Structure 1
Amino acid sequence: MILPLYKGLATALGPVIDVYLDRRVARGKEDPGRLDERRGIADRSRPEGRLIWLHAASVGEAVGLLTLVRALRDTRPDLVLLMTTGTTTSADAMAKRLPEGVIHQFVPVDRPAWVGRFLAHWRPDLGIWMESDLWPTLVTEADARGIPMAIVDGRLSVGAFQRWRRLGRLARPLFDAFDLVLAASEDQARRFSALGCADVRYAGNLKAAGDPPVVDDTLAADIRGVIAGRPVWLAASTHPGEDSVVLDAHARLAAARPDLLTVIVPRHTRRGDEIAALAQSRGLGLARRSAGEPVTPRTAIYLADTMGEIAAFYSAIPVTFLAGSLVPVGGHNPIEPAHCGTALVFGPLIPNNRDAADALLAAGGAMEIRDAVSLAETVGALLDDPAAAAQMAASARAVADEGRAGLDRILDALSPLLPGEAG
C-alpha cells in the first residue's frame, strides 16, 4: 500500500520537483549543465557490453566505492562500469578520481518516469549499492526488471534501522529486492537480517580495503632529515576548532620536552594563514612549508600547508593524531595512515569510519582521546616509549593488511552475480 502511494505522489508532484531542482541549481546544489541526468536523461549513449551500475550517495561513500571500482576494472576489463551519485561534490571528486573509461552520471530523482528512463537507457546487468542510500522507486523498479542487486559496506544507523523496522512488512519489497547484502560489520549484518534480507554476510569493509597511500620515499627521507634528533608528532587533516586543541596539547607536551616539534597538516591548505596566526599569537616559533621556511632549533610548529604530501609525513613521523575527529565533520579514514607505519591517535567523532576505527582500537593499533589533556597524555606516553609506539604502528598495519584481504572476499562474494565474460 505505502509503495504505490509513494510512487503516485512522486508522479503527481512532478512540477513541484522541477521547481525544487531549479532552486537547488540556484543554490549551487545541482549542476545546471547536467540537470537532465536527474530526470533520467543520459548525456551519452550506452556502450556495448555487460554493464555494472554502482551507486553511492555522496563523496564519502563514492570514495569508499572506488576501491571496488578499481578492482572490477582490473579483474574484469570486459565490463562497462557506471557510477551514480547524488551530489555535485561527489561528481567533482569522481571526475578527478574515477579510472579512465568509468562513466559517471547523477542518480535520477526517485520519480517513476525518470527512474524508468534511466533504467531503460543503461540496462544494467547488475546493480551494486554502497551502504544504504536506498531509493524505493529506483530499487523496486530495478528489481521488477530482473536486475540482480547487491549492497556492499551495508550500514544502517540505529535510527534508520528502527524506522525501517517499524514499517515492518511495508518495507519488505525494498529489502527483498537485494540478492546479496555484504554488511560493513557483524553488527550491521544482524540489522539487515532483522529487516528480512535473505543473504546477508560480513566479508570485509571497503573503507578498510583501500589502496595504501603512495609514499614518496625521497620526500619521506627529506622530512626525516628535517625533524631528526627531536621528539616529533603529527596532527593530520586538522579542521577549524582542532588547531587550538593541538596547540594546547603542544604546550603541555613541551613543558617536559622543550625541543618538541609539532607538525600540523591542515585538511585544507587555504587555512594556512589562519593556523599560522593562531600559533604566532601564542608566541610559538613557526615554519611554513608552503613558504619554504626552514625548520630551526627555535621552530616549535611546522605548518605543512602543502598539497599531496601527507603520506610522506605519515611515513616519517612515529606518532600521528588523525584530526577531523574532535569536531563533527564525520572523521577521516584511519586505514590510510595505518598503512604507513605510524602510531595512531584519534578523537571520538569519527562516524563515517567507525568500523575501521573500532577494528584498530580492538587490535591495539590506535588509541582514542577526548580533548587536549588526553591528547597530550597519550602522545607523550608514545613519545616516551618508542617501542610501544612501534608496536602500535605494527598492529595498525596488520589491520590495514587484513582490510586488503577483505576486498578479495568481497569480490568472491559478488562473483556469482557478475555477468559472464562475453565470448
Structure 2
Amino acid sequence: MPVRLPYSLLWLLALPAVLLRLLWRARRQPEYLGHVGERFARYPAPPDGPLIWLHAVSVGETRAAEPLVRALLAGHPAHRVLLTHMTPTGRATGTALFGTEPRVLQAYLPYDMAMLAARFVRHFRPCLGIVMETELWPNLLAVCAQHGVPVILANARLSARSARRYARWPALTRATLGALAAIGAQTTADAERLAALGAHGVVHTGNIKFDIEPPAARHELGHAFRARIGARPAILAASTRDGEEGPLLDAFLRHAPADAVLLLVPRHPQRFDEVAALAAGRGLAVQRRSDGQPLAAATRVWLGDSMGEMFAYYAAADVALLGGSWQPLGGQNLIESCAVGTPVIMGPHTFNFAQVAEQAAEAGAALRAADAEDGMKAAVELLSDPARRAAMGEAGLAFAQAHRGATARTMALIDGILSARPAAH
C-alpha cells in the first residue's frame, strides 16, 4: 500500500472533479448519467456460477475483445462472462455485439479506489480477470491479487510515448505490472517495453483484432450502403476525431471529383451534430445514414451517424482515410479496412498502432500521407486508378489473413492459468 498511497490520495482529491466531468460529459451524452451507482461498485444481485471478467474500456477495446469473448463462451460453457466498460459508447458496443447472449453480463467498472475495487471483486467473485490493451488500474490489480484473482493483460500494447509516461513512476508501475498473472503482447516491441518497465510473464501473442471476422450482416449492410450510394465514387473518412473533419472537408472540396461523396463517420456519437454543421457550413449538402433514404444527387457528405457499423462503411467505400491519424491522436484500427479489402490511407500519427501501420504499408495495403491535404489527394488518385485500388485491396485481405491466430494464443495463456486454479474457483 505505501507505493500506492500517493496515487490513492490523488484519486480521493480528484473525485469531485471526476464527478463534475461526468456531469459535463452528460450534457452532450446523457448516457453518462446511466448506471452511476456501478461506478461506485453498486450492482444488482450477483450472478450464480463461475464468472470470467473482461474489461474493455471503450469502443475500440470492446470490438477488439469480440473474438476473445466468443472463444471464452465456447471454451468455458459453464462460465458467464462479465464485460466491464468505462464509457457509454463502449457499453453500447458490447450490447450490440453480445446483447442476445444470456451468458454475457455488462457493467461499469468502478473508479480505482481500493474500497470500491474490493466491493467489485467481492460482489462478482471472478475466477479470472482479463484487461484489454493498456488499461492498468493499480488499486484494482492490487485488490485482485489480495483476493487471489489472477488478472491477465491481453492484447497489450504500449507505445514508446506511453512507456515514457509510465517510467516516470517506476515503483508504482513495477508494483502494478507485478500484480498481473501474465501479459499477452500485440508485438515484440510492446513486449520489450513492458518487460523494461518491470513486467514478468510477457508473451508475444499477436493482435486479436486480426481475428475479427466481418459479420455477414455487416457485409450485407455494406452492400445496402453501396446501393444507396450508387455508382458515385465514395471516399470514407473513418472514425474521425475533433480537429480532423475541417481539414478533410476542405481538402475534399478542393480535390474530389464533383460526383464523389464523402462518407464521414465521427468516432464519438456526441459529435454527430457538430460534424454535420461543419460540412453544411462549407456549403456541402449533408445527408445522414439514419434517414434511411438513397443518396440524393446533390448530397456530397453522407454522415455516418451510427455505432457498430464500421465494417459496413469500409465495405461500401472505394478508399478510406484513417481517422485519429491526421492529428497527434495515435490513429485508429486499420485492420477492419484490410479485412474487407478496402485500401486505406493513413496520416503521420499512428503511434498507437505503429507496427500494424508499418506492416500494412510494407504489405501494400496502406499508404502514408503527410497531412489531410495529401491524404485526400492520394484518395482521389486511387479513385482514378481501379487496378491499383484492386491490388491494394487484395494486399489488405492477404495481410489480415496472415496475422490471425492471436485469439488462440491468448486462450492458451488463459486456460493455463485457469487450469492451475483450485477446484473451488
TM tier relative to shorter chain: 0.7 to 0.9
Alpha carbons 1:208, 1:356 under 8 Å: kept = no
Letter of the 2:223 partner, please give it: A
Change (3 A) 1:9 1:396: same
Letter of the 1:223 partner, please give it: R
TM-score (norm 1): 0.80
Check if 1:220 corresponds to 2:223. yes
Moved over 6 A (4+): 285-289
Residue matched to 1:277: 280
Alpha carbons 1:266, 1:272 under 8 Å: kept = no
Counterpart of 1:204 in 2: which secondary structure?
Answer: coil
Letter of the 2:48 partner, please give it: P
Residue matched to 2:333: 333
Alpha carbons 2:222, 2:314 under 8 Å: kept = no
Greater mean deviation of Cα atoms: 309-318 or 385-394: 309-318
Q: Equivalents in 1 of 2:380, 2:16: separation in Å?
A: 56
Counterpart of 1:127 in 2: which secondary structure?
Answer: strand
Residue matched to 2:395: 395
Residue matched to 1:123: 125
Change (3 A) 1:28 1:303: closer
Q: Equivalents in 1 of 2:55, 2:81: separation in Å?
A: 11
Greater mean deviation of Cα atoms: 132-141 or 212-221: 212-221
Residue matched to 2:71: 71
Alpha carbons 2:53, 2:82 under 8 Å: kept = yes
Counterpart of 1:128 in 2: which secondary structure?
Answer: strand
Change (3 A) 1:277 1:209: same
Alpha carbons 1:207, 1:356 under 8 Å: kept = no
Counterpart of 1:280 in 2: which secondary structure?
Answer: coil
Check if 1:358 corresponds to 2:350. no
Greater mean deviation of Cα atoms: 89-98 or 172-181: 89-98
Residue matched to 2:155: 153
Letter of the 1:280 partner, please give it: G
Residue matched to 2:90: 90
Per-residue CA deviation, residues 345-380 of structure 1 (Å, 9 max, x unaligned), is 122334554443333223221012133442244224
2:207 maps to which of 186, 195, 205 = 205
**Residue identity (%):** 31
Counterpart of 1:418 in 2: which secondary structure?
Answer: helix
Change (3 A) 1:262 1:145: same
Alpha carbons 2:64, 2:209 under 8 Å: kept = yes
Provide the alpha-carbon RMSD of the alignment. 3.8
In the alignment, structure 1 segments of 5+ residues that lack a partner are none
Check if 1:383 corresponds to 2:383. yes
Residue matched to 2:418: 418
Change (3 A) 1:135 1:66: same
Residue matched to 1:45: 46
Change (3 A) 1:161 1:398: same
Per-residue CA deviation, residues 146-179 of structure 1 (Å, 9 max, x unaligned), is 2222111222343542354455456433322222
Residue matched to 2:192: 190
Alpha carbons 2:255, 2:376 under 8 Å: kept = yes
2:174 maps to which of 160, 172, 175 = 172
| Shift in Å, 1:273 | 4.8
Counterpart of 2:191 in 1: which secondary structure?
Answer: helix
Per-residue CA deviation, residues 97-138 of structure 1 (Å, 9 max, x unaligned), is 444232223223333333222222222211111122222222
Residue matched to 1:132: 134
| Shift in Å, 1:187 | 0.8
Greater mean deviation of Cα atoms: 217-226 or 117-126: 217-226
Q: Equivalents in 2 of 1:171, 1:251: separation in Å?
A: 48
Letter of the 2:302 partner, please give it: L
Change (3 A) 1:35 1:75: same
Change (3 A) 1:240 1:278: farther
Counterpart of 1:45 in 2: which secondary structure?
Answer: coil
| Shift in Å, 1:18 | 6.9
| Shift in Å, 1:389 | 1.6
Greater mean deviation of Cα atoms: 170-179 or 299-308: 299-308
| Shift in Å, 1:188 | 0.8
Alpha carbons 2:222, 2:311 under 8 Å: kept = no
Counterpart of 1:2 in 2: which secondary structure?
Answer: coil
Residue matched to 1:371: 371
Change (3 A) 1:329 1:27: same
Greater mean deviation of Cα atoms: 170-179 or 210-219: 210-219
Counterpart of 2:3 in 1: which secondary structure?
Answer: helix
Greater mean deviation of Cα atoms: 87-96 or 130-139: 87-96
Q: Equivalents in 1 of 2:24, 2:301: separation in Å?
A: 38
Q: Equivalents in 1 of 2:124, 2:160: separation in Å?
A: 34
Alpha carbons 2:159, 2:352 under 8 Å: kept = no
| Shift in Å, 1:388 | 1.9
Residue matched to 2:3: 3
Q: Equivalents in 1 of 2:147, 2:274: separation in Å?
A: 50
Counterpart of 1:357 in 2: which secondary structure?
Answer: helix
Report matched runs for 1:179-328 at 5 Å: 179-213=181-215, 214-217=217-220, 220=223, 223=226, 227-228=230-231, 232-238=234-240, 241-253=243-255, 260-267=259-266, 270=273, 273-274=276-277, 277-278=280-281, 280=283, 290=291, 292=293, 296=297, 301=300, 303=302, 305=304, 307=306, 311-327=311-327
Counterpart of 1:82 in 2: which secondary structure?
Answer: strand
How many matched pairs?
Answer: 410
